[in-house]
Amino acid sequence: MDYILLVILFAPFLGAIGLIFVPNRQALQVRLVAALSAGICFVASWIMFFSFDPAKGGYQFVQRYEWSKELGIAFYLGVDGVGVPLVLASSILLFAGIFISWHIKDRTKEFYIFLLILAAATIGVFMSLDLFFLYFFYEMSVIPMYLLLGVWGSHTKGYLAMTDPEGLKQRDSVGFIFNFASNSKEYAAMKLTLFLSAGAVLALMGILLIYKLSGLNTFDIVALKQHTHFEGPVGTLIWLLIFFGFASIAPIWPLHSWSPVGHAAAPAATSMLHAGVLMKLGHFSIIRVCFEIMPDLTRQLMPIAAVLCIFSIIYGGLAAFYAKDTKYVIGYSSSSHMGYVFLGMAALDYISLSGAIIYMFAHAMATGMLFAMAGWVYDQTHTRDIPSLGGLINRMPFVSGCFIVACMASVGMPGTVNFIAEVMILVGAWHKYPFQVFVAVVGIVLTMGYLFRMMRGLFYGPMDEHYAHAHDAVSMVDRFPLLLMIACSIGFFFFPLHFYDVVRAGVDPLIARIIEVVPIVSHAGGIAPGGGPLP
């Protein structure tokens, strides 16, 4: 049990390395190796989840290996009540994504290698207790995302405007990259990389300032939390660099525009990981750095998130309502829903922050289902244009049934864990941000409107005869990932106690630290109130 985090983290990495030696022509063997490594990660994550002791709290299953004593860098892993549900979500979506991608024939081996690396990188962020490796895994997630979008992604409708009348697709590379009216998969990959890299640079500047000004010569989050205190203009600058650097991946308005485009272009399994866990890297990193290392500044500056989350919720909801592309609807929906997480974080309340963390897991399951089924519909019809579809329930009764459940979960209907999370966020935030709570309720109504509108457009009404060849998910390989995510979404609604206890074990010390900031004595210098060095 002591090494459970190493098993979870390195199973996908070892699977990716093992796939290098499997010939690409042996497609079934490639899929089985990927499924085996993802399965080990999946099973180990459940063992970790049920073995976590909420009564003990703190960081558990800790592993620490010195990496550079001179620089104060260690390979330091551990999970608390915040990290456990997100590691579990990553492993579930990776395992489901392996089967969602079972029918990919183009460069199957390379696809699974990058998918495994992407999931492992997100898991590494959720486990890291060293700022160096937290940032290392954070940046590692960008590389496979770029390749998965650029190679296996699909062009959106706007891509046709970039081709010549003869369809020869002669594009000028520089003009194409900076053509912001276009929506090719390469453009989506480039935009995602540029946005995330720009945000990562800001976050890196903040991390380096923490390292330098703490005087501790370490990236150890636990040591920095215990022995540093940042205030004044310098502390505010560091906090803002960390917050906006990581909030760009969350994504918070107005740093969100890369996300819906990335969703639209990505293959189904990549969209699942993108929406399910990649976006949560931002929230998690803000909690890990801002909340833990700079609690007093978090108390003072988190109202920024309370303001910006209003725009995220309403803008994302309205954009999703008017979108015609299934993946754009779900993509903008995800941007809107991330505003709820920021609201729960901004309220700095035990209930609201617990709800925000549970919501991150719940959103991963609901949006994972929606993207998986949007991918299935696209594979069968070769279009994501909602007005041109309809009546598919006659051809896809199982998929349409699962789609209804996913919509119910995304809206936050009772019977799904999303309901618990949304209620906790709204109740916990009401005393501090009643206007934002009102906006959030309006956002829920919007969510119901655009999801049911999309569901009606896809599955009900007359069906175009061009799609008469479409068929349902019949095999267990196709049905299993959907049933897995549905089981998690519904199961944690009816049996939430251990989940809730795990999350509260991580939230309680965070909120206690922020509400009552205890003066910290640094043994190696630091930042005193006002920004000067500690003696």
DSSP structural state of residue 394:
G
Per-residue pLDDT of the chain (535 residues; tens, 9 = 90+): 778 999 999 999 999 999 999 888 888 899 999 999 999 999 999 999 999 999 898 899 999 998 888 888 999 999 999 999 999 999 999 999 999 988 888 788 898 999 999 999 999 999 999 999 999 999 888 888 888 887 877 766 544 443 444 444 444 444 444 444 455 667 777 777 888 888 889 999 999 999 888 888 889 898 888 888 777 888 899 999 999 998 888 888 887 777 777 777 778 888 888 888 888 898 999 999 989 888 888 888 888 988 998 988 998 888 888 888 888 888 888 888 988 999 999 998 899 999 999 999 999 999 999 988 888 888 888 888 888 888 888 888 898 899 999 999 988 889 999 999 999 999 999 998 999 999 999 999 999 888 988 888 888 888 777 777 878 878 888 899 999 999 999 999 999 899 999 999 989 888 888 886 544 433 333 433 333 333 3
What pLDDT is stored for residue 512 in this prediction? 87
Q: Name residues whose C-beta falls within 8 Å of residue 525's C-beta, 6 or more positions apart in sequence.
A: 214, 215, 216, 533, 534, 535
Q: How many CB atoms lie within 10 A of CB 75?
A: 18
- What's the confidence (pLDDT) of residue 47? 94
Q: What is the pLDDT of residue 474?
A: 83
- From the number of C-beta atoms within 10 Å of its C-beta (0-12, 13-18, 19+), residue 168 rates as exposed
Q: What is the pLDDT of residue 381?
A: 84
Alpha-carbon torsion (230, 277, 416, 491), positive or negative:
negative
Tokens of 60: 């558990």
416-425 burial: b if 16+ Cβ within 10 Å, else e: bbbbbbbebb
**pLDDT value, residue 25:** 83
Residue 64, beta-bridge partner list: 76
pLDDT at residue 122, as a whole number: 92
Cα separation of 255 and 78, whole Å?
A: 30
Backbone angles phi, psi at 56, to 5 degrees: -75, -40
Do 118 and 273 touch, CB atoms closer than 8 A?
Answer: yes
The DSSP code sequence of 54-95 is TTT-S-EEEEEEEEETTTTEEEEEEE-TTHHHHHHHHHHHHH
pLDDT of residue 169: 47
CA distance 241 to 200: 10
User: Taking the CB of residue 232, how many other CB atoms lie within 10 A of it?
Assistant: 14
* Sequence-ordered alpha helix ranges (H) in 128-220: 131-140, 142-152, 173-177, 185-214
Q: Which residues pair with 527 in a beta bridge?
A: 533
pLDDT at 437: 92
User: What's the CA gap between 337 and 359, in Å, rounded?
Assistant: 9
